[in-house]
Structure 1
Amino acid sequence: MMNIAPFVKERRKQLKLTQTELAMRAGVGLRFVRELEQGKSTLRLDKVNKVLALFGAEVGVTTLVEK
Protein backbone atom coordinates (compact mmCIF):
# COMPACT_ATOMS: atom_id res chain seq x y z
CA MET A 1 0.00 0.00 0.00
CA MET A 2 1.35 3.44 -0.94
CA ASN A 3 1.23 6.37 1.45
CA ILE A 4 -0.92 9.29 0.34
CA ALA A 5 1.83 11.95 0.27
CA PRO A 6 4.11 10.29 -2.31
CA PHE A 7 1.10 9.09 -4.31
CA VAL A 8 -0.28 12.62 -4.69
CA LYS A 9 3.12 14.13 -5.47
CA GLU A 10 3.98 11.48 -8.08
CA ARG A 11 0.56 11.67 -9.78
CA ARG A 12 0.68 15.47 -9.83
CA LYS A 13 4.08 15.41 -11.49
CA GLN A 14 2.97 12.74 -13.99
CA LEU A 15 0.15 15.06 -15.03
CA LYS A 16 2.61 17.99 -15.18
CA LEU A 17 0.60 20.03 -12.68
CA THR A 18 2.02 22.56 -10.26
CA GLN A 19 0.85 22.50 -6.67
CA THR A 20 -1.13 25.66 -7.43
CA GLU A 21 -2.87 24.04 -10.41
CA LEU A 22 -3.71 20.94 -8.38
CA ALA A 23 -5.15 23.08 -5.59
CA MET A 24 -7.31 25.02 -8.05
CA ARG A 25 -8.60 21.88 -9.79
CA ALA A 26 -9.40 20.16 -6.49
CA GLY A 27 -10.98 23.23 -4.92
CA VAL A 28 -8.58 23.29 -1.98
CA GLY A 29 -5.94 25.75 -0.85
CA LEU A 30 -2.30 25.71 -1.91
CA ARG A 31 -1.25 25.34 1.72
CA PHE A 32 -3.39 22.21 1.99
CA VAL A 33 -1.71 20.64 -1.07
CA ARG A 34 1.73 21.44 0.34
CA GLU A 35 0.87 19.93 3.71
CA LEU A 36 -0.64 16.87 2.03
CA GLU A 37 2.49 16.26 -0.04
CA GLN A 38 4.66 16.74 3.06
CA GLY A 39 2.73 14.01 4.87
CA LYS A 40 1.07 16.12 7.55
CA SER A 41 -0.88 13.71 9.74
CA THR A 42 -3.81 15.98 10.66
CA LEU A 43 -5.63 16.84 7.45
CA ARG A 44 -9.35 16.97 6.74
CA LEU A 45 -10.42 13.72 5.13
CA ASP A 46 -13.00 15.40 2.89
CA LYS A 47 -10.30 17.61 1.38
CA VAL A 48 -7.91 14.68 0.98
CA ASN A 49 -10.61 12.86 -0.98
CA LYS A 50 -11.20 15.94 -3.17
CA VAL A 51 -7.56 15.80 -4.24
CA LEU A 52 -7.51 12.02 -4.62
CA ALA A 53 -10.68 12.12 -6.74
CA LEU A 54 -8.69 13.89 -9.47
CA PHE A 55 -6.55 10.74 -9.67
CA GLY A 56 -9.45 8.28 -9.50
CA ALA A 57 -8.74 7.32 -5.89
CA GLU A 58 -10.13 7.89 -2.41
CA VAL A 59 -9.31 7.12 1.21
CA GLY A 60 -11.26 4.18 2.57
CA VAL A 61 -11.42 1.67 5.38
CA THR A 62 -9.23 -1.44 5.36
CA THR A 63 -9.69 -4.34 7.73
CA LEU A 64 -6.51 -5.23 9.57
CA VAL A 65 -5.60 -8.88 10.00
CA GLU A 66 -4.87 -9.83 13.59
CA LYS A 67 -1.36 -11.15 14.20
Structure 2
Amino acid sequence: MHPSLGDEESQAVDGGWLVRRTDYEFLTSPLTREVLQQEDIHVIDYRAIQHVWSQGASLQ
Protein backbone atom coordinates (compact mmCIF):
# COMPACT_ATOMS: atom_id res chain seq x y z
CA MET A 1 0.00 0.00 0.00
CA HIS A 2 1.11 3.52 -0.72
CA PRO A 3 -1.38 5.80 1.01
CA SER A 4 -1.72 9.45 0.08
CA LEU A 5 -4.10 12.26 0.88
CA GLY A 6 -4.72 12.80 -2.82
CA ASP A 7 -4.19 16.52 -2.54
CA GLU A 8 -3.46 18.79 -5.52
CA GLU A 9 0.28 18.12 -5.31
CA SER A 10 -0.28 14.36 -5.32
CA GLN A 11 -2.65 14.62 -8.25
CA ALA A 12 -0.11 16.65 -10.21
CA VAL A 13 2.69 14.09 -9.89
CA ASP A 14 0.91 10.75 -9.59
CA GLY A 15 -1.61 9.38 -12.05
CA GLY A 16 -2.49 6.70 -9.46
CA TRP A 17 -3.40 9.22 -6.78
CA LEU A 18 -6.99 7.99 -6.51
CA VAL A 19 -5.85 4.46 -5.60
CA ARG A 20 -3.44 5.93 -3.06
CA ARG A 21 -6.25 8.04 -1.58
CA THR A 22 -8.38 4.90 -1.27
CA ASP A 23 -5.45 3.17 0.48
CA TYR A 24 -5.31 6.08 2.93
CA GLU A 25 -9.05 5.95 3.61
CA PHE A 26 -8.86 2.20 4.19
CA LEU A 27 -5.90 2.42 6.56
CA THR A 28 -7.45 5.20 8.63
CA SER A 29 -10.95 3.74 8.93
CA PRO A 30 -12.19 2.63 12.36
CA LEU A 31 -13.32 -0.72 10.91
CA THR A 32 -9.85 -1.43 9.56
CA ARG A 33 -8.30 -0.59 12.92
CA GLU A 34 -10.70 -3.01 14.60
CA VAL A 35 -9.96 -5.84 12.16
CA LEU A 36 -6.21 -5.29 12.44
CA GLN A 37 -6.46 -5.55 16.22
CA GLN A 38 -8.64 -8.67 16.07
CA GLU A 39 -6.24 -10.37 13.68
CA ASP A 40 -3.13 -9.13 15.55
CA ILE A 41 -1.82 -7.45 12.40
CA HIS A 42 0.73 -4.66 12.86
CA VAL A 43 1.03 -1.99 10.20
CA ILE A 44 4.63 -0.96 9.62
CA ASP A 45 6.37 1.38 7.25
CA TYR A 46 9.36 0.76 5.04
CA ARG A 47 11.79 2.07 7.67
CA ALA A 48 11.23 -1.04 9.79
CA ILE A 49 12.12 -3.26 6.85
CA GLN A 50 15.19 -1.17 6.02
CA HIS A 51 16.36 -1.50 9.62
CA VAL A 52 16.15 -5.29 9.50
CA TRP A 53 17.96 -5.39 6.17
CA SER A 54 20.68 -3.06 7.41
CA GLN A 55 21.33 -5.42 10.31
CA GLY A 56 21.87 -8.26 7.85
CA ALA A 57 19.00 -10.23 9.35
CA SER A 58 16.73 -12.50 7.39
CA LEU A 59 12.98 -11.86 7.32
CA GLN A 60 12.29 -15.60 7.42
Higher helix proportion (structure 1 or 2): 2
TM-score range, shorter chain: under 0.3
> Normalising by structure 2, what TM-score?
0.23
> Normalising by structure 1, what TM-score?
0.22
